[in-house]
């Protein structure tokens, strides 16, 4: 199966080893683009990501993390780990009253952009997590973040030309075609980042 169409479900019937191999192939296929859409090495990409997180901490800024569904859960998990282990100020927009107020009054596509517009500052970081890279609420938030002078990091999967992958200062993409594989790979990538931040702390 081509790397661009990897699916965890496609391997389920062929045994555990093939299932594990699908994850190895997807994580091994991680690509990182910079803000000029130029590829950079994975170690270099992680180094830039860590260095910028440390700069945010030094400047007493904030790392915002956003996502929908399982990616929202991941955002909360990573925010907690970065705060506890990396001594970073983090924020997720998971308050139910805020979510429902913005969604009801303005529409769900504004649920991250509007609070970010009020709270984000130049030099902060936004980490946007999306398997498809096509969620309108994440795309609006990245527009706002860039307008504020924030560093935007995107994590996507599925189509290589998804719009979120064009939106960041760093753009990480794994060749996973289904949500389970994409989400698990994103979790591994985020934990790698957390570990490197903690090592530098």
- Encode pLDDT of 6-56 as tens digits: 565 554 556 898 999 999 999 999 999 999 999 999 999 999 999 999 999
CATH class of 3-199: alpha beta
Inter-axis angle of helices 70-86 and 42-58, nearest 10: 60
Which stretch of DSSP H or E encloses residue 127?
A: strand 125-129
Residue 31 φ/ψ, nearest 5 degrees: -125, 150
Tell me what pLDDT residue 9 has: 58
The sign of the torsion formed by the CA atoms of 25, 8, 165, 117 equals negative
What is the average per-residue pLDDT within 133-161? 98
Domain ranges of the chain: 3-199
- Tokens at residue 100, please? 């429902």
Distance CA 72, CA 131 (A): 11
Q: What whole-number percentage of the chain has pLDDT above 90? A: 90
Angle (nearest 5°) at CA 13 between 10 and 18: 70
Nearest to 30 by CA among 197, 164, 166, 154: 154
Based on C-alpha coordinates, what's the Rg of the chain? 16
Angle (nearest 5°) at CA 113 between 109 and 114: 105
Read off the pTM.
Answer: 0.92
């Amino acid at each position: 199966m081509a790397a661009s169409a990897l699916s965890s479900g496609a391997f389920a019937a062929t045994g555990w080893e093939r299932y594990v191999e699908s994850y190895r192939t997807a994580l091994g296929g991680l690509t990182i683009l910079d803000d000029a859409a130029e590829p950079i090495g994975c170690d270099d990409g992680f180094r830039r990501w860590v260095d910028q997180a440390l700069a945010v901490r030094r400047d007493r800024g904030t790392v915002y993390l956003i996502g929908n569904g399982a990616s929202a859960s991941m955002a909360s998990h990573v925010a907690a780990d970065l705060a506890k282990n990396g001594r970073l100020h983090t924020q997720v927009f998971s308050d139910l009253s805020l979510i429902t107020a913005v969604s009801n009054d303005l529409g769900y596509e504004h649920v991250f952009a509007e609070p970010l517009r009020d709270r984000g500052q130049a030099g902060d970081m936004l980490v946007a997590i999306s398997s498809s890279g096509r969620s309108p609420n994440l795309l609006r938030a990245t527009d706002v973040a860039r307008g504020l002078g924030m560093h935007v990091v995107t994590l996507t999967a599925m189509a290589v030309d998804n719009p979120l992958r064009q939106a960041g200062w760093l753009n990480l993409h794994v060749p996973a075609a289904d949500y389970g594989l994409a989400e698990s790979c994103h979790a591994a990538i985020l934990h790698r980042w957390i570990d490197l931040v903690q090592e530098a702390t």
